[in-house]
Amino acid sequence: MDLDLIRQLALPNDTKIVLTVIDGLGGLPHPSRGRSELEAADTPNLDRLAADSLCGLTIPVALGVTPGSGPGHLALFGYDALKYTVGRGVLESLGIDFDLQPKDVAARGNFCTLDADGKIVDRRAGRIPTDESAKICKELAKIELPSVDLFVEPVRDHRFVVVLRAKGRRKLSPDIRDTDPQKEGVAPFQAEASATGGKATATLINTFIAEAREVINNRTSANGLTLRGFAQKPDFPAMPDVFNMRTAAIAMYPMYRGLAKLVGMTVLDGGESFLDEVETLKRRWNDFDFFFVHYKPADAAGEDGDFNAKVAALEAFDRSVADLRAVGADVLMIAGDHSTPTAMAAHSWHPVPFSLFSPNATPDGTNNLDERSCLRGSLGTFHATEVMPLAMAHAARFAKYGA
């Protein structure tokens, strides 16, 4: 649904909506054992919640399309992920909790290893450890560029972020092509403008690259760098405006906190564990109308291809479900931003189990929160962007459309 229509329909009310996102929730049957992670997990509380809920499967972006974390979450927040896009440089900055300003230009960097001719022999510089990357970043951040503040921040292993912040009247442009050729055996590209407005910034980036090469030239590995995904912080409509609600995010990981900030949520303390998150939810219950609560371990186990670890992560979540229910939301949803089947050890395009509990909803007879059961749920297979409209309806926060 278009955000303008949501804005037009959104009414104030005293009701509370909780959107719990289990990252990478969906899975696939174990190749030999035949049951999916959710089917294999012992999750009596999730199953009881499903039995009290409406169930279905969400399509994060489109059938066949595997989303990254950005599009997967934006869709659940009601934002069409094909329209509201976030550049790589911005996402990486969010992921390290960098306080990106509206006019900054950010890029994702890789340290790489170059041969004597300047050609890339290892795109990831042997995945050098993060603390080594951090030391190099510290040196590179000392480089001075005219009328610009430079930030170079380590991410993990060979990955880092470069941010340019204009001083005075200088204006920066994100219209710059990747310098990363995405293959070995060739030299990194020079930064080039992808639109006429990008020329001055491209020159600055090339100055940075040249000076950086001087600094790391004598290293045996990580003696070069590539940059990609030049981007500025997008100016998205804010959830409080669009949905007419006070919105809060409870998440431990910077990436998800950052995504929530991009859509105007207030970011609350996620603490050290999901138990802390639920405590925060209780403590701040009266201050907000909508809460996005994020649970990461299922995705991490899925990416590792560890079936038993994903089962354990789901079972660990299950032990918090009673507490989540006890808070007393008018609409309590369990959703996933995408599937992360351990059989693929990666994000996937598969539709994701979803449940919506509300005193206003008649349970649909789905007795388990898993892929096959939710397929038979009353919500069917639907687009993740419809999750928030469904929540608004069940929270009696949508006006009638038309007379």
Residues contributing to the site for a copy of itself (CB under 8 A): 1-2, 5, 9, 28-29, 61-71, 81-82, 85-86, 88, 91-92, 229, 347, 349, 362, 364, 372, 375, 378, 380-382, 386, 389-393, 398-403
Return the SS3 of 256: helix
Minimum Å distance from CB 54 to a copy of itself? 10
Residue 133: CB atoms within 10 A of its CB come to: 25
* 130/381 with CB nearer a copy of itself: 381
Nearest to 7 by CA among 236, 238, 244: 244
**Smaller CB separation from a copy of itself, 285 or 349:** 349
How many C-alpha atoms does 197 have within 13 Å on its Cβ side?
6
For helices 307-318 and 44-51, what crossing angle results, to 10°?
A: 60
Q: Do 60 and 378 touch, CB atoms closer than 8 A?
A: no
- Provide the minimum distance between the beta carbon of 386 and a copy of itself in the complex, in angstroms, as a whole number: 4
Q: Give the residue with the Cβ less far from a copy of itself, 69 or 280.
A: 69
Instruction: Closer to a copy of itself by CB, 185 or 402: give it.
Output: 402
Strand ranges of the sheet holding 266-268, from the earlier edge strand across to the other edge: 266-268, 247-250, 290-295, 17-22, 331-335, 352-357, 54-59, 380-383
Least CB distance from residue 10 to a copy of itself, whole Å? 11
- Cβ nearer to a copy of itself, comparing 47 with 364: 364
**By C-beta, is 56 or 270 nearer to a copy of itself?**
56
For strand 380-383 and strand 105-114, is the pairing parallel, antiparallel, or unpaired? Answer: unpaired
We find the least distance from the C-beta atom of residue 262 to a copy of itself, in angstroms, to be 13
Q: How far is the CB of 192 from a copy of itself (least distance, A)?
A: 20
First to last CA, the chain: 20
Minimum distance from residue 66 beta carbon to a copy of itself (Å): 5
Dihedral angle computed from the Cα positions of residues 21, 25, 26 and 30, in that order, rounded to the nearest 10 degrees? -170
